[in-house]
Amino acid sequence: MTASTPELTQESRSAAFIFIFKKALISAFVAFVLFSLMIGIRTEAGPTGQLVYWTRFEDLATIVAIVFGGSIVIELLRRWWGPAPTARTLPPFVQRAASVARRTLPPLLLIFALLVPVVFYDQRYVIDTGIQVLTYVMLGWGLNVVVGLAGLLDLGYVAFYAVGAYSYALLATNFGLSFWVCLPLAGMLAACWGVMLGFPVLRLRGDYLAIVTLAFGEIIRLVIINWQSLTGGPNGVSGIPRPTFFGIPLTPGDEGLAARLGIEFSPTQRVVFLFYIILALALLTNWVAIRLRRLPIGRAWEALREDEVACRALGINTTTTKLTAFATGATFGGFAGAFFATRQGFISPESFTFQESALVLAIVVLGGLGSQFGVALAALTLIGGFELFRGFDQYRMIVFGMAMVLLMIWRPRGLVGHRAPTVFLKHSQAISSELTSEGRG
C-alpha cells in the first residue's frame, strides 16, 4: 500500500478506490458473519422454559453498515496521514520537548502526589483513589524488576501480593503484632515464596515460564480458599488492625492521635495517614529499584534479559541472578499486600484473582519495560482512568480496550520506550527500545 501523492494519475486513483471498496466489503462481510447470530437473532427462555426467539435484522444491518462506512473512513484517514510515524521520524522539536518533559515531569508528579491530601482534604474520594493508584504504582515497580529488568515474564505476581496480605492479616489477628513489625515479615515471607517459585521454573523460558507462574498464582489463591482453618477460606479475614503512628492509634478516643494533638478527630486523618504510608512505601520501592539497577546485580539482571548464554560465558551465576530478581520483586509485592490488608481491614481470596496480575502486568508493559517513570504514568492512566470513566459504566472496558490497542499501535514499547544506561563515560544517551530485548525467560 502506498501513500497518496499529489500527482495521482487517474489509473492509480481508481485502483486505490477499488482497494478501499474491496476492503470495506470484506470487513462488512466479516462483521455480518460475526454478528448475524450474536445480534441478528435474539434467544431467550420463555415463561415455561421453552425457547423464544425473535430477529433483529435492522440492528444487524446498522452494525454492518457502520463497519462498512468505518472501514472506508479509516482507510481514507490512513492514506491522508501516510504510514504510521515511528519514534525515529519525530521532528526534533518534539523530541526536545519530550526530553524536557522526561526531566521535569517526575519531580512535578512527586510534588503533586505529596500535595494531594492537602489540596483534596475534604474530598475523601480523591485521596482514596490516590491510595489505589499508588498501590498499583508500587506493584508495578515491584513487577518491573522481574519483567522489565530481568526479562522473566511473571503472570502470577498477585500470589506475592496475597502472601503479603495474608501474612500481615494472620500475624496481626492471631498474635497481635503491629503493622510496622509485620511489614518486613510480610516482605520476607513473600520473598521466600518468590524463591520457592523461582527454583522449579529456573529452566523454563518465555511462554513456559509465563504459564507456570500463572499456575502458581492460582495455586496460592486455591490454597487460601481451601485452607479454611487457617485463612477462613472464602469468608476471608476480618478485623485486621489499622496502622498506628509510632504506637498511637488514629482513633476518636482519648488515646487517639487527634486527642493527643488537641485537634478535632476526623476519619479523613486516617486516610491521609494511609496515603502517606503508601507513598513512602512506593518511593522506597522506587529508590531500591533504581539503586539496584546501577549495582552489579541490576546490570546482571539486564544482561540476563539480553542474552542468557552470554551471561553464563562471562561467569555469571544465572540461577542466583534469577532467584534474586524473583525475590526482590516478591518482597515489594509482599509490602504492598500488607498495606492492602491494613487499608481494607478485611481481605478475602476474591481480591487476589488473575485479573490483578494481568492489570499489574498491563501497567508494566504499557509504561515501557524497565522504565520507572513510565510505570508510574501507566498506573495513573489505567487506575485513575478506571475511576474517571466510572460514569460510562458498562462502556468503560470498551474504552479501555480501545485505548490500549491504540497505544500499542503508536507506542509498541510502552509510554516510555527507551532505556537509560546505568553507567557512562562522557554523557548518557538513551537507548532506543528497538535494540533492547524483551527477555525470553
Partner 1 sequence: MSGDIILSVDRLTMRFGGVVAVNDLSFAAERRKITALIGPNGAGKTTVFNCITGFYKPTSGAIRLTHDDGRGIQLDRLNDFRISKQARVARTFQNVRLFPGMTALENLMVAQHNALMLASGFTFLGLIGAPSFRKAEKHAIERATHWLDRIGLLGRADEAAGNLAYGDQRRLEIARAMCTEPALLCLDEPAAGLNARESSGLSELLLSIRDQGTSILLIEHDMSVVMEISDHIAVMDYGVKISEGAPREIRDDPKVIAAYLGVQDDEVAAVEQELGR
Nearer to partner 1, 118 or 309 (CB): 309
In the set 261, 295, 402, 408, which binds partner 1 (CB under 8 A)?
295
CB 426 → partner 1: shortest distance, Å? 6
In the set 52, 219, 408, 431, which binds partner 1 (CB under 8 A)?
431
- DSSP class of residue 433 equals T
Per CB under 8 A, the segment of 225-233, 296-304, 336-344, 398-406 that binds partner 1 is 296-304
- Residue list 395-424, contact with partner 1 (CB under 8 A): 419, 421-424
Q: How far apart are CA 368 and CA 358, in angstroms?
A: 15
Nearer to partner 1, 129 or 372 (CB): 372
Nearer to partner 1, 177 or 284 (CB): 284
CB 33 → partner 1: shortest distance, Å? 43
Q: How far apart are CA 379 and CA 359, in angstroms?
A: 9
**Is 104 among the residues that bind partner 1 (CB under 8 A)?**
no
Yes or no: say if 209 and 441 are a contact pair by the CB < 8 Å rule. yes
Question: Distances in Å between the alpha carbon of 6 and those of 9, 130, 332?
Answer: 9, 51, 57
CB 323 → partner 1: shortest distance, Å? 13
User: DSSP for 77-127?
Assistant: HHHHH-SPP-GGGS-HHHHHHHHHHHHHHHHHHHHHHHHHHHHTTT-HHHH
Q: Is 134 left (phi over 0), alpha (psi -120 to 50) or beta?
A: alpha
Q: Which of 321, 406, 334, 413 is nearest to 367 (CA)?
A: 413
CB 309 → partner 1: shortest distance, Å? 6
Q: Quick one: how far is CA 404 from the chain centroid?
A: 12
Per CB under 8 A, the segment of 237-245, 299-307, 349-357, 391-399 that binds partner 1 is 299-307
Q: Is 185 exposed, middle or buried (0-12, 13-18, 19+ CB in 10 A)?
A: middle
Per CB under 8 A, the segment of 68-76, 268-276, 305-313, 355-363 that binds partner 1 is 305-313
- Residue list 319-348, contact with partner 1 (CB under 8 A): 324
The residues binding partner 1 (CB under 8 A) are 288, 291-292, 295-297, 299-300, 302-303, 306-307, 309-318, 324, 419, 421-429, 431-433, 435-437
